[in-house]
């Protein structure tokens, strides 16, 4: 707790009560909508300060009182009543939003978020809110999110907008909507739009690609858990950041010369369907976090496939997107020889890589599948990395390495040992492992390292019981040993 | 002259209490008030008085600018710095820095401080917030009740 009055007595603190209105409104802009409204009772001066904010966040969770649980249960039995309650909430939400927008002073509302009910769209309120703030305020950031489908409303709501409505926006986020043909006119002449985030959106192929074509100035694009389309064409010249999460498609074409960051998670796509042409990529991240591990779907594009198909490893690929990479962050089973082979090839092509983050996936114990992917080696597994020529670039540039899910198996150990022995510029090696193999992990610290500045950090992870709790056991700079 | 302008090596900032700070040009880029002053001058060395900013505050602002202008620092390192930076400040430090940021016309630092202050008063009682901003309530109980009713939804 803060003690406000604890200050130097000789210092004049009058300035606090004399802070100008615009600075106080700026502070209120960072409060949730209910907290902002509550500042009106601080003093007469404050009654209207919150009506002059530059950001409004209309989140129904902060505006609508929840009905008590017992009441809720009783109502659930009568579906009809349940709908009535939902309608009432939507109506109340609409009234509050209308009042606040009506009272907002000036045109300096630059950022606005709505988390609304389905009903607000059917009532037409939603459309008029968006038009009002876009047309009479200097809005540049807009985020719209409908309540997710539930028992009451089982499908996504169709969002419709006026033509060219987004033309002055710099950032737009849409969540939980269905989009159809007319949306393309809303995206007309939106050359100022730099950031677009579409989450849980249902739309067909022509819609998503049409939107992308219209937003030619786009610098950051996130497409998350959206569906209804099977082909993605991303050819935005200015695009620097691209995030594709939880998608299921047949093909993805990315042709963005300026792209610097590419983040992919849980992608379902045939290996040959992924075509990425971006020479200037700095940061590549590939994982399967969104899909529960029990579901081992065949369609999920594995990291190995992604690595193969985004590099020049396969003959028909003219471009290797890894050559200018600074950070590589991937899920990869180092114990699988084929995965390890592809990975070792990629490492030889990363000329500038300085940060490497590997997550070794937790494997289900299944007896039969263990060897299907393995291929025979003419030498013991533990020799694998010693027999690979890790490129001089890796040895010279690699500074930070993080290995998560370390299980202490031969190939993993030999990889990590190899880095310790060869990467002479490495500053930090962070190994996160199950507490049961801590002893094996500790052995890593006794190795002679090539880098004089290397510190090895071991962290144990209690996966099964306390998922989020990790404890740092010890950290020892190896330089002291040399 | 343009070529000479770009040759400015060191900028001297003089705080309200007379303390002097010498900084490189890239550090003051974010301070629009200072930058526009520099742009108007055709000199090799510049010395700028800042009568509205105290030395302690200016030192902190420069520390922040140095960290954020550095290209070597990772995004994570900057975030960690921001976290610690706010943590070691008292509430009146934050309010003073907010005012200084406004005077120096530093948009992103201004947002950063406003956000830090908002985080302190979020979910606090009315009394706490009044105390924080040194506000004396000038409402009659009836007037306050009226306002509470007006935005009933915001008060549980």
Asked if B146 and B96 sit in the same domain, the reply is: no
Pairwise CA distance, residues A241 & A238, whole Å: 9
Residue A376, chain B, CB below 8 Å: the answer is no
A2 touches chain B (CB under 8 A): yes
Looking at residue A73, its pLDDT comes to 57
Task: Tell whether the model's pLDDT for residue B154 goes beyond 70.
Answer: yes
How far B92 CA sits from the closest chain A CA (Å)?
8
**B114 and B153 share one domain:** no
pLDDT given for residue A12 in this prediction: 54
Average pLDDT over chain B, rounded to whole? 88
Q: What is the pLDDT of residues A43-52, one digit of tens each?
A: 999 999 999 9
- Do B133 and B87 fall into the same domain? no
C-alpha–C-alpha distance, residues A394 and A398, integer Å: 5
Model pTM score: 0.86
The CATH classification of domain A325-362+375-482, taken from the options 3.40.190, 3.40.50, 1.20.1180, 3.80.10: 3.80.10
A30, B115: Cβ pair inside 8 Å?
Answer: yes
What is residue A444's predicted lDDT score, i.e. its pLDDT?
81
Tell me, yes or no, whether B81 and B138 share the same domain. Answer: no
The verdict on a CB contact (< 8 Å) between A17 and B139 is no
Shared domain check, B90 and B56 = yes
Residue tagged 């630059």 (tokens): A110
CB pairs under 8 A between A and B: 100
The secondary structure of B52-110 as a DSSP string is TS-HHHHHHHHHHHHHHH-SSS-HHHHHHHHHHHHHT--HHHHHHHHHHHHHHT-HHHH
Examine the pLDDT at B53 and tell me if it is beyond 80. Answer: yes
Q: What is the DSSP secondary-structure string of A241-261?
A: EEEEES-B-SEEEEE-TT--E
Say which residue, B111 or B156, is predicted with more confidence. B111
Can you give the CATH number for the domain in which B107 is found? 3.30.710.10
- Calpha distance B24→A312 (Å, rounded): 44
Shared domain for B58 and B105, answered yes or no, is yes
Q: How many CB atoms lie within 10 A of CB A47?
A: 16
Rounded CA-CA distance A102/A96 in Å is 10
Q: Is A78 on the interface with B (CB under 8 A)?
A: no
**A420, A453 in Cβ contact below 8 A?**
no
Indicate yes or no: CB of A40 within 8 angstroms of CB of B95.
Answer: no
Identify whether the C-beta of residue A470 lies closer than 8 Å to the C-beta of residue A443.
no
Q: Report the C-alpha gap between A146 and A290 in whole angstroms.
A: 21
The token duo for B13 is 């900032």
Q: Are residues B82 and B129 in the same domain?
A: no
Tokens 């509050």 -> residue:
A96
Cβ contact (<8 Å) for B130 and A43? yes
- Say yes or no: B86 and B141 in one domain: no
Between chains, do B153 and A41 touch, taking CB under 8 Å as contact? no
Within this chain, do residues B78 and B101 fall inside the same structural domain, yes or no?
Answer: yes
Interior/surface letters A203-223, b for 16+ CB within 10 angstroms, e for the rest: beeebbbbbbebbeebbbbbb
pLDDT at residue A239, as a whole number: 96
Residues B40 and B53 in one domain: yes
CB B4 within 8 A of CB B15: no
Same-domain check for residues B38 and B61: yes
| Cβ <8 Å between A38 and B151 | yes
Interval B70-87 mean pLDDT: 89
Angle at A142 between CA A137 and CA A147, to 5 degrees: 125
Q: How many domains does chain B have?
A: 2
pLDDT in tens, A290-324: 766 555 566 788 888 888 888 877 766 667 888 89
Cβ of A69 under 8 Å from any chain B Cβ? no
Q: What fold is seen in the domain A54-74+90-229?
A: 3.80.10
Q: What is the reported pLDDT for B148?
A: 93
* Chain A residue with Cα closest to B151: A37
**Residues in chain A, pLDDT under 50:** 1-10, 69-70, 365-372, 463-482
Residue A345 CA, chain-centre distance (Å), reads 28
B68 and B98, same domain (yes or no): yes
CB contact under 8 A, B95 and A19: yes
Instruction: Tell whether the model's pLDDT for residue B20 goes beyond 50.
Output: yes
Of A6, A15, A33, nearest to B99 by CB-CB distance is: A15
Q: Are A431 and A416 in contact (CB under 8 A)?
A: yes
Asked whether A131 and A152 are in contact (CB, 8 A), the reply is no
Determine the structural domain holding residue B130 and report its residue range: 123-156
């Amino acid at each position: 707790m803060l003690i406000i009055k604890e200050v130097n007595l000789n210092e004049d603190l009058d300035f606090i009560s004399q802070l100008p209105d615009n600075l106080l409104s700026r502070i209120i802009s960072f409060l949730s909508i209910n907290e902002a409204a509550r500042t009106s009772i601080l003093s007469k001066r404050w009654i209207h300060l919150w009506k002059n904010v530059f950001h409004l966040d209309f989140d129904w969770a902060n505006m609508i009182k929840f009905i008590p649980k017992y009441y809720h249960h009783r109502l659930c039995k009568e579906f009809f009543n349940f709908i009535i309650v939902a309608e009432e909430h939507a109506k109340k939400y609409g009234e509050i939003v209308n009042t606040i927008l009506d009272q907002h002073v000036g045109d300096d509302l630059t950022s606005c978020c709505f988390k609304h009910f389905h009903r607000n769209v059917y009532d037409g309120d939603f459309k008029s809110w968006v038009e009002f703030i876009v047309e009479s305020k200097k809005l540049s950031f807009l985020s719209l999110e409908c309540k997710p489908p539930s028992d009451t409303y089982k499908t996504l709501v169709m969002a419709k907008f006026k033509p060219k409505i987004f033309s002055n926006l710099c950032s737009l986020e849409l969540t939980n909507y269905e989009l159809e043909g007319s949306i393309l006119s809303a995206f007309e002449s939106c050359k100022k739009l730099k950031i677009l985030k579409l989450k849980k959106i249902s739309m067909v192929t022509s819609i998503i690609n049409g939107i992308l074509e219209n937003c030619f100035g786009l610098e950051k694009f996130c497409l998350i858990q959206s569906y209804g389309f099977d082909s993605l064409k991303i050819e935005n010249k200015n695009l620097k950041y691209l995030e594709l999460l939880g998608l299921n498609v047949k093909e993805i074409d990315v042709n963005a010369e300026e792209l610097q960051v590419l983040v992919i998670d849980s992608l379902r796509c045939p290996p040959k369907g992924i075509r990425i042409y971006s020479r200037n990529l700095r940061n590549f991240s590939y994982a399967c976090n969104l899909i529960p591990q029990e579901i081992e779907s065949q369609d999920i594009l594995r990291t190995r496939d992604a690595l193969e198909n985004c590099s020049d490893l396969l003959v028909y690929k003219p471009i290797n997107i890894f050559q200018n990479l600074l950070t590589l962050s991937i899920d990869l089973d180092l114990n699988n020889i084929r995965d390890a082979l592809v990975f070792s090839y990629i490492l030889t092509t990363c000329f500038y890589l300085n940060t490497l983050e590997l997550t070794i996936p937790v494997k289900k114990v299944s007896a039969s599948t263990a060897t299907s992917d393995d291929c025979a080696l003419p030498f013991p597994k533990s020799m694998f990395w010693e027999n690979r020529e890790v490129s001089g670039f890796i040895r010279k540039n690699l500074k930070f390495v993080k290995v998560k899910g370390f299980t202490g198996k031969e190939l993993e150990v030999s990889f990590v040992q190899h880095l310790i022995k060869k990467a002479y510029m490495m500053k930090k090696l962070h190994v996160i492992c199950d507490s049961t193999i801590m002893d094996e992990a500790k052995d890593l610290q006794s190795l002679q390292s090539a880098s004089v500045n290397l510190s090895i950090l071991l962290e144990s992870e209690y996966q099964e019981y306390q998922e989020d709790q990790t404890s740092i056991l010890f950290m020892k700079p190896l330089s002291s040993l040399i | 002259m343009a070529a000479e302008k770009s040759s400015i090596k060191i900028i001297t900032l003089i705080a309200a209490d007379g303390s002097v700070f010498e900084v490189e040009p890239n550090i003051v880029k974010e301070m629009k008030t200072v930058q526009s002053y520099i742009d108007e001058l055709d000199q090799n060395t510049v010395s700028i008085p800042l009568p509205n900013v105290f030395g302690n505050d200016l030192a902190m602002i420069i520390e922040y600018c140095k960290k954020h202008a550095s290209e070597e620092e990772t995004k994570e390192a900057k975030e960690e710095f921001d976290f610690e930076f706010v943590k070691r400040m008292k509430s009146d430090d934050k309010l003073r820095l907010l005012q200084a940021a406004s005077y120096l016309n530093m948009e992103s630092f201004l947002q950063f401080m406003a956000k830090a202050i908002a985080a302190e008063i979020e979910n606090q009682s009315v009394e706490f917030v009044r105390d924080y901003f040194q506000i004396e309530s000038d409402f009659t109980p009836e007037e306050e009740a009226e306002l509470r009713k007006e935005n009933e939804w915001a008060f549980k």
